[in-house]
Amino acid sequence: MQSRPFVEEHDKMFRWYEYWLKGIDNGVMDEPAVSVHVEGSREAVTGAQWPRKDVEHRPLYLRPRRALSPEPEPTGAEYAAPDGFYQAPLTVTDKVEILSWSTAPFTEPTEMIGQGAAHLFAEIDQPDTNFILRLWDEAPGGARQLITTAYLKASHRELDEERTTEGDPYHPHTRAVPVEPGRIEEYVLRVYPFGATFLPGHKLVVELSNDEPPADAHNALLPPDAFHLPVGRPVTHRIYRDAAHPPRIVLPFTRTVPSS
């Protein structure tokens, strides 16, 4: 059975086409321009534009011991050693190495609607790699819901500074710039638009890899070839998260409107 939000959005799409292609005045242009189904709360949130004006982009920092915190790491690299993983090509292994960080359980419903950015400080030993982020809502019993994703090829890390804003990086993808092996670079990934409410007791989990798992709770729902191409070479990644290299996920927290 299809969910009610899906049916409602499907109906609105057809009425939008009726208005613009057939000239049928069905009232669709009098409705809010944006309607978002919010995972977690399962509410429909409407607005006049995207992104919503009542959003505040705030960072969550990657910390030692796989923690995700509103506060940055205060110590240097000598005390906050980088995380690392080695990924062999999927031609010789079917195991995808994954690093993960998670928040403490939320104590009150926390809503996020919009797009975001991930700032990673990484060193690799090859001229290129992939950075793949997946953000999950993890319930107290361990059940997980994929919230959104972010992807970046290291050689396409260039940003258009004039078009990039906080929480919304813009990559022109006009050329490839190989990475200098052994050099620490900042990589800014665009976190795809999403809407989610993290309920009390739930955690936000961020996973990093350079390939996509061939099969897991999310990918089992996708068509057989709906994956990004793997790197095809062995790559060692070192992810720095110290005072000089503050890796963070910048997310669109909705503002709390004071009651009158």
Report pLDDT digits (tens) over 49-70: 887 778 999 999 999 889 999 9
Angle at 217 between CA 211 and CA 222, to 5 degrees: 70
Tell me what pLDDT residue 229 has.
74
CB 12 within 8 A of CB 32: no
pLDDT band for position 24 (cuts 50, 70, 90): very high
Q: Name the segment(s) of the chain with CATH classification 2.60.120.260.
A: 55-254
Backbone φ, ψ for residue 202 (5° rounding): -85, 160
Whether the predicted pLDDT of 96 surpasses 50: yes
Q: What is the CATH number of domain 55-254?
A: 2.60.120.260
Whether the predicted pLDDT of 45 surpasses 70: yes
Tell me what pLDDT residue 7 has.
52
pLDDT band for position 41 (cuts 50, 70, 90): confident
Report pLDDT digits (tens) over 204-260: 999 999 998 776 666 655 655 666 777 889 999 999 999 999 999 999 999 754 433
- Measured over all CA atoms, what is the biggest interatomic distance in the chain, rounded to whole angstroms? 67
Tokens matching residue 67: 């923690």
User: Which residue type, as a one-letter code, is found at position 178?
Assistant: P
Candidate from 41-55, 77-91, 152-166 with smallest mean pLDDT: 41-55
Q: Best-predicted range by mean pLDDT among 17-31, 39-53, 147-161, 212-226?
A: 147-161
Q: Tell me the C-alpha distance between 245 and 212, whole Å.
A: 26
Tokens matching residue 231: 């790197």
